[in-house]
Structure 1
Amino acid sequence: MGDFFVRTEQMTVGYDGKPLIKNIEIQLKKGEILTLIGPNGAGKSTILKSMTRQLKLVGGTVYLNNEMMNHMSGKEVARRLAVVMTERIRPELMSCEDIVATGRYPYTGTLGILGEEDWEKVHRAMEMVHALEFKDRDFTAISDGQRQRILLARAICQEPEIIVLDEPTSFLDIRHKLELLAILKKMVLENGTAVLMSLHELDLAQKISDKVICVHGDKIEKYGIPEEIFTSEYIHHLYGITTGSYNASFGCLEMESPKGTPKIFVIGGNGTGIPVYRKLQRAGIPFVTGVIHKNDMDHEVAKVLATEVIAEEPFEEISEKNLETARKWLDSCEQVICCVDVFGKMNAGNRELSEIARKEGKLITITEYMKQKNS
């Protein structure tokens, strides 16, 4: 037990004494990132608020470095734990710099006066999140994304041993999402900080987390490493996905495939087909694709967007059987889009398909097809 900086025993959380999720067992070491995922309303925020004493526990215990948190003073907790929540705070007449400076209050005296070293830490934290340029602006007059960065800066200059964040990337653009997670990773690797957070972006959770907790229904349904959690089957179950699909290999969502009889045959491979598949899907045009090797990145997207995928085993030359199937589909389709420029030994059969389509006057580029369709 001594190895875990944060742990819970039989923790039960809820509101007004009514249990929402029971017997939660969480264990987090220093230098680890533990992420909560799950559907909206599952109770992720409730768990985080209960662990940080913003909500009263319905039952059980939270330990911080083997000390019961409910026996620790607010100042003791604040020197070890920082919190970044999604609720909008509306302080009166406080600049961004003032907000970040409150992160140093656990280290000041009764009057809360910051010394020169404290201000250096405030400015260094603001610089880390690229917020120094608006340090003098009113906190209530900046954007949601800028506020999120200010609140992260406040947590950083608090110099916590653990930082708890509730959906920290929600209001951030792509650049600042990546920067925020890079900052957290740096704190973990260089300072041994423990990070406990909730995320909606599954691709980010999959890439940054050491451990993942899945909150589903009234329980912690699964707890493990990303490789165990992020499978297509389990994520479909966890979120109840019925439209479209989740691609575990790419860590991304795909829309559902177009309905109807395919009129387009796509010759893809080596990732060249993916943008064409998605363009056809956006336009609601059903298509067939092949011949693609099963270890080709095109195959991962094709199998959820195409009406039919003619697939070959990895590292095998395209078989006569697959070529025959492809020729039949090619004959039934009105036009053929070839995305491949170079044909090697393994995909030589696709050159043959391309030549057949050219001779029959069916070969066309995706740009030409879309212009033709829209004219």
Structure 2
Amino acid sequence: MNAYYLQTEQMTVGYHGKPLIEKINLCLRRGEIMTLIGPNGSGKSTILKSIVRQLRPLGGVVRLEQVSLEELSPQAVAQKMSVLMTDRLQPELMTCREVAAAGRYPYTGKLGLLTQRDWEKVDEALALVHGSALADQAFTAISDGQRQRVLLARALCQEPEILVLDEPTSFLDIRYKLEILSTLKELVRQRQLAVVLSLHELDLAQRVSDLVVCVHNNAIERCGPPEAVFTSDYITTLYELTQGSYEPGYGSLELPRVQGAVKAFVIGGNGEGIGTYRRLQREGVPFVAGVLHENDVEFPAARALAVEVIAQKAFEPIGAAQYQQAMAWLERCERVFCCCETFGTMNEPNRWLKQAARERGKLVDWTEVPHGL
């Protein structure tokens, strides 16, 4: 097993001599991504700033390859560690290539003159982040997502062994969020970089991270692989959720279910009912869902949003008891929505439910009720 590249030992962080989080012990190997998550104001950025020496730790030590940062010169640190914080850089009259080239400062000497090799490194970094086409454009004239890629190229120009990024996906649309994190993951694999970052997007943190560090209540509350951290109960505790729910299987959030007398019955399955569940929630309509197998892709959404879910054990055909329970609800409801066009041997009773709803004049679709029930 590779030795740890980054270690914090009993690190205490805070401001003006006042501790915020104490006894922080983190370990990261090259080729791994460590992500800090937690509520706003919990101290994620403070930890990152203390690791990169923007803030002086109040106690403890930060080591790179077993050597304390205090024993390394600023230049030596810059040749090992690149930092990308949330400050929004606005350089005037600089091209993207020139902004990226600023990352060569640990190698250029006092005069800051770039050699041919330096410029080759700049172009290589831009290519790595798919930014070569931006090279001659003014940095102030490109989009936020493109700027983030150029700034990542600037960080890579330092030829680092570890990258530290504070909310690198802030201000970005979904395309650029995925591009930035995919590029990071590719760099980690290809160059065996170590990466420490903070993220607000739990779904992305769950997918990109090798280790997740949870910052809460002035402490590192939990640290481990995503599958150990992203559980419904723990995320509810970490973010002190009082409304809605978190589904760890998909990294998704659902609004609270609508309570009250049930008005609608939804026949779903194979993921086709999720849109109807969410629309009923938006319309303020309490509903029952069924009959769903417990391993159906839409079962978590139904469980979160429906007043009741009539469930069948996985891999078994819908039984008589579940069918009778569904029929009882169907009789009581004003409207029935069937989201399935086809049925198989395992869910044939759902076809019978659809037919029963049609015979009773209750079967509708959303085109007939564009503004709710």
TM-score (norm: length of structure 2): 0.96
Task: Give the match for residue 65 of structure 1.
Answer: 65
- Counterparts of 1:146 and 1:272 in 2: how far apart (Å)? 36
Report how far residue 370 of structure 1 moved. Answer: 2.7
- Counterparts of 1:287 and 1:320 in 2: how far apart (Å)? 22
Partners of 1:14 and 1:21 within 8 A in 2: yes
Partners of 1:84 and 1:152 within 8 A in 2: yes
Residue 100 of structure 1 pairs with residue 97 of structure 2: no
Residue 285 of structure 1 pairs with residue 272 of structure 2: no
Please give the secondary structure, in 2, of the residue aligned with 1:79. helix
Task: Give the match for residue 179 of structure 1.
Answer: 179
- Counterparts of 2:3 and 2:127 in 1: how far apart (Å)? 33
Please give the secondary structure, in 2, of the residue aligned with 1:25. strand
What residue identity is the alignment partner of 1:323?
A: Y
Report how far residue 161 of structure 1 moved. Answer: 0.3
Report how far residue 217 of structure 1 moved. Answer: 1.0
**Aligned residues with identical type, % of pairs:** 55
Report how far residue 254 of structure 1 moved. Answer: 0.9
In terms of mean alpha carbon deviation, does 320-329 or 26-35 score higher?
320-329
What residue identity is the alignment partner of 1:322?
A: Q
Task: Give the match for residue 3 of structure 2.
Answer: 3
- Counterparts of 1:297 and 1:238 in 2: how far apart (Å)? 26
Partners of 2:85 and 2:166 within 8 A in 1: yes
TM-score (norm: length of structure 1): 0.95
Report how far residue 142 of structure 1 moved. Answer: 4.3
Partners of 1:148 and 1:171 within 8 A in 2: no
Task: Give the match for residue 148 of structure 2.
Answer: 148
Task: Give the match for residue 87 of structure 1.
Answer: 87
Please give the secondary structure, in 1, of the residue aligned with 2:298. helix
- Counterparts of 1:140 and 1:47 in 2: how far apart (Å)? 30
In terms of mean alpha carbon deviation, does 86-95 or 358-367 score higher?
86-95
What residue identity is the alignment partner of 1:109?
A: G
- Counterparts of 2:24 and 2:93 in 1: how far apart (Å)? 40
Partners of 1:33 and 1:211 within 8 A in 2: yes
What residue identity is the alignment partner of 2:164?
A: V
Q: Which runs of 5+ in 2 are unaligned?
A: none
Change (3 A) 1:214 1:240: same
**Structure 1 residues 205-244: Cα deviation after superposition (integer angstroms, max 9, x where no partner):** 1011111100001100001010100000000000001111
Report how far residue 363 of structure 1 moved. Answer: 1.0
Partners of 2:266 and 2:289 within 8 A in 1: yes
Partners of 2:167 and 2:197 within 8 A in 1: yes
Residues 103-122 of structure 1 aligned to structure 2 (within 5 Å): 103-122=103-122
Please give the secondary structure, in 2, of the residue aligned with 1:98. helix
In terms of mean alpha carbon deviation, does 358-367 or 28-37 score higher?
358-367
- Counterparts of 2:226 and 2:366 in 1: how far apart (Å)? 37
Question: What is the RMSD computed on CA atoms of the aligned residues?
Answer: 1.7
Report how far residue 121 of structure 1 moved. Answer: 1.9
What residue identity is the alignment partner of 2:107?
A: Y
Please give the secondary structure, in 2, of the residue aligned with 1:370. coil
- Counterparts of 2:345 and 2:59 in 1: how far apart (Å)? 65
Partners of 1:2 and 1:66 within 8 A in 2: no
- Counterparts of 2:370 and 2:305 in 1: how far apart (Å)? 18
Q: Which runs of 5+ in 1 are unaligned?
A: none
Change (3 A) 1:357 1:206: same
